[in-house]
């Protein structure tokens, strides 16, 4: 709901968001990111994030509701409306970091770590991401040592849930294996999340390699929606229902009701009045 919708110009009304979130909760996904605490003028699609968290307080069952937070003001809002899990992020790309937050990677990292430690002390579930971890639309290749050092700094400050985000969609399988392996070697108990965009068609393949390398969580978006507005080519995420269908060919994740997610995708297709990126919804 967050990365999936943030790049769509047509703003989804609150009541429709509620309906879609309810179906995704019924599908029993583990974690659902329902918004980000950013300035509404900068990203109108996320203007009702506080209201959504207040509405769903105590209504999500076993599904953890998360949000993206980019600064201390966003953290205060997340805390005030009872957000279950707070996701922070810093970009390994200096260019993307400036476009996304107006800060250098180092300044953003120090600020994020300070806020993340506060959230941990406040009893919140915390995830910290490394955006542009596999490459940047503006800068191209990103030094893998820089990515690993950011991860080490997170770990050294008590942050043990780390997301490697392929913001520009540049990831490829061997690189995925290498980066996850390097972080796991440094601290084997680190929970690795991966977040792939399908810019060059390698999204689901990268998911498989990430799972084999030890990633615990895969972030996706229904219908393959999404894309960072502050990168050069804003391509969609790995499609949730396509990945679940693929994994379920070997009965890997039988607990998620994919039919509910497909329902949301079909409703989104009607709402946005365009063919969406997913495949499976077109066959069901």
3-state SS of 86-119?
A: EEEEEECCHHHHHHHHCCCHHHHHHHHHHHHHHH
Beta-carbon contacts of 243 under 8 Å, excluding residues fewer than 6 positions away, are: 204, 207, 218, 220
User: Which is the catalytic residue, given 87, 128, 136, 228?
Assistant: 228
Question: Is residue 41 within 8 Å of 8, Cβ to Cβ?
Answer: no
Whether 228 is catalytic is yes
| Per-residue CA distances from 35 to 82, 166, 264 (Å) | 13, 19, 17
Buried b (16+ CB within 10 A) or exposed e, 216-251: eebbbbbbbbbbbebbeebbbbbbbbbbbbbbeeee
CA dihedral 10→77→192→94, nearest 10 degrees, is: 70
C-alpha 35/C-alpha 14 separation (Å) is: 12
Output the six-digit token pair for 164: 């490697």
Beta-carbon contacts of 79 under 8 Å, excluding residues fewer than 6 positions away, are: 119, 122, 124
What are the catalytic residues? Answer: 228
């Amino acid at each position: 709901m967050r990365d999936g919708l943030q790049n769509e110009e047509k703003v989804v009304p609150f009541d429709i968001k509620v309906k879609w979130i309810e179906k995704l909760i019924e599908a029993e996904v583990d974690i659902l990111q329902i918004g980000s605490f950013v300035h509404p003028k900068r990203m109108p699609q996320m203007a009702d994030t506080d209201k959504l968290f207040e509405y769903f307080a105590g209504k999500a069952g076993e599904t953890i509701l998360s949000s993206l937070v980019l600064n201390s003001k966003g953290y205060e809002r997340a805390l005030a409306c009872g957000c279950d899990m707070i996701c922070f992020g810093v970009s390994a790309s200096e260019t993307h970091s400036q476009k996304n937050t107006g800060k250098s990677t180092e300044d953003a990292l120090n600020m994020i770590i300070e806020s993340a430690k506060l959230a941990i002390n406040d009893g919140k579930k915390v995830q910290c991401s490394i955006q542009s971890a596999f490459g940047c639309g503006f800068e191209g290749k990103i030094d893998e040592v820089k990515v690993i050092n950011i991860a080490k700094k997170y770990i050294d400050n008590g942050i043990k849930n780390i997301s490697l985000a392929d913001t520009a969609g540049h990831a490829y399988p061997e690189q995925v294996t290498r980066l996850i392996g390097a972080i796991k070697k440094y601290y084997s108990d680190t929970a690795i999340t991966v977040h792939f965009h399908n810019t060059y068609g390698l999204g689901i393949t990268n998911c498989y390699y990430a799972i084999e390398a030890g990633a615990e969580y895969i972030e996706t978006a229904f219908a393959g929606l999404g894309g960072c507005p502050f990168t050069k080519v804003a391509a969609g995420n790995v499609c949730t229902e396509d990945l679940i269908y693929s994994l379920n060919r070997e009965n890997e994740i039988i607990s998620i009701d994919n039919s509910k997610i497909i329902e949301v995708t079909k409703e989104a297709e009607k709402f946005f009045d365009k063919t969406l990126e997913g495949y499976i919804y077109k066959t069901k």
